[in-house]
Structure 1
């Protein structure tokens, strides 16, 4: 009996070993976590966030500022001029910071690109925070510059809420659908990609302006709303653009041509794609860090 117990004890102690601190199972866990963090937030990620702050600041400053000046005195800035200014600032910012952050400048766009895996989900909260920071800062700057008027380009529904909601949904859908085509599809022509997106913003603003204000951007609406403490119909400019953006990203993925993928690449921006097209070269990138407009 004693021999049997001793053999059993020997078997148990030989099969159950104390964890070794240097074993791969124990030591690989922290390394795995650090690797995951480094993949989600690459070394250049703070530059992307700061670029989104600057880009959204200038977008709201020009877009809202021109719209506010149009309301104050249409003889100085017409409504058409304000819509064109909004489209032009999108175009120039795509060429300016597109190669750094992708020039989203819009929480709805960032969410849509995350939904179709063109922007890592862990980066989304930082992008949105940067965009809201830029929009709010620009709005307070406009409030000080345009005093005593409280017209700083805030958007509010001119008709019924359902009209404004549908208008924001459709116009945002148009903008994001075009952005998905020229920024993420390797078969799309990229030489004038920024112009295409800017024109889509300009056209959508002209159509939507009399009904919803043509925001297509939650940050573009929230910034002026906070600066002047006016929140009329604010929810419309979250639900409409976000819904339209996600539907646009999803629908373009459905019709994307996968039978003729063209040359494999992964771009970080529209401007980078344009430089490649001009130089006649195509580079292969890593899809894991793709972040496009």
Structure 2
């Protein structure tokens, strides 16, 4: 007579074999594919509308700089409300990495998200070039207006502000969750208004990399590949410093607990 434990063991072994044979159809993997696709589509739309506003303004002069700022903020806000409940609406490798560093996102999914974000940016940029037959004079990427160092420093600060806001509305349970899209979109709009004329206000390595690859314009690109990562990490760290906790102050000031309070 077969023991129930043997039957259960056989089921477990069968399930393990099934998962190994059909990894990409397992629930976890299907969910990951949905998240990655949402990031790709979301980043595509962000680049198409935001970059498109720049391209249209350069070609036809009908959008204006305030209009460009609003386009960037509004499209990010729309995408947050559209796919935020699916993928978290990162659309930005610097945001994804920062979430992982502060234990708000699994490290194993970071490469998939980053690949989707870069691919979405490339596809969005390529679509704009095909539709508008864009030339180099219609370049909608980001390059330093003066020095790369100046843009590098500016990108750090404005990305710090962006990640600080994201951390507040997306990772703190006390925040009003349905206001996240408005808060993040408004912050992007504000940053573009302030820094757009100087650095282009990228705040996003994928946003810069897509147009750069399509147009093959890489002037000062290092500032946009490094600056946003530094700024995002600093922004996440800054918010975690002020995040309220139920632990008593004497416990937080102990070395081990004090350190954990910044990264948890």
Match of 2:40 among 53, 64, 74: 53
Deviation (angstroms), 1:152: 3.9
CA gap 1:53/1:221 in 2 versus in 1, 3 angstroms: same
Alpha-carbon contact 2:152-2:227 (below 8 Å) kept: yes
CA gap 1:229/1:162 in 2 versus in 1, 3 angstroms: same
CA gap 1:148/1:214 in 2 versus in 1, 3 angstroms: closer
Match of 2:56 in 1: 69
Match of 1:80 in 2: 66
Aligned pairs (5 A) from 1:125-274? 125-150=111-136, 151-259=138-246
Question: After superposition, what is the alpha-carbon deviation per residue over 1:212-247, rounded to whole angstroms, capped at 9, x for unaligned?
Answer: 001111110000001111111111101110000011
Runs of 4+ in 1 over 6 A off after TM superposition: 37-40
**Root-mean-square deviation over aligned CA pairs:** 2.3
CA gap 1:133/1:148 in 2 versus in 1, 3 angstroms: closer
Deviation (angstroms), 1:40: 11
Deviation (angstroms), 1:144: 1.2
* C-alpha separation in 1, matches of 2:189 and 2:161: 11
Greater helix share, 1 or 2? 2
The total of aligned residue pairs comes to 230
Any gaps of 5 or more consecutive residues in structure 2? 1-8, 248-264
Alpha-carbon contact 1:139-1:152 (below 8 Å) kept: no
Deviation (angstroms), 1:68: 1.8
TM-score, length basis structure 1: 0.74
Give the stretch that moved more between structures: 40-49 or 247-256: 40-49
* C-alpha separation in 2, matches of 1:170 and 1:40: 40
1:105 paired with 2:91, answer yes
Deviation (angstroms), 1:41: 4.8
Question: After superposition, what is the alpha-carbon deviation per residue over 1:195-224, rounded to whole angstroms, capped at 9, x for unaligned?
Answer: 000000000011111110011111100000
Deviation (angstroms), 1:171: 0.7
Question: After superposition, what is the alpha-carbon deviation per residue over 1:1-59, rounded to whole angstroms, capped at 9, x for unaligned?
Answer: xxxxxxxxxxxxxxxxxxxxxxx9xx99x96xx79x99995541110000011000000
Alpha-carbon contact 1:155-1:212 (below 8 Å) kept: yes
Give the stretch that moved more between structures: 37-46 or 159-168: 37-46
Alpha-carbon contact 2:204-2:224 (below 8 Å) kept: yes
Give the stretch that moved more between structures: 146-155 or 56-65: 146-155
CA gap 1:43/1:141 in 2 versus in 1, 3 angstroms: closer
Secondary structure, counterpart of 1:44 in structure 2: helix
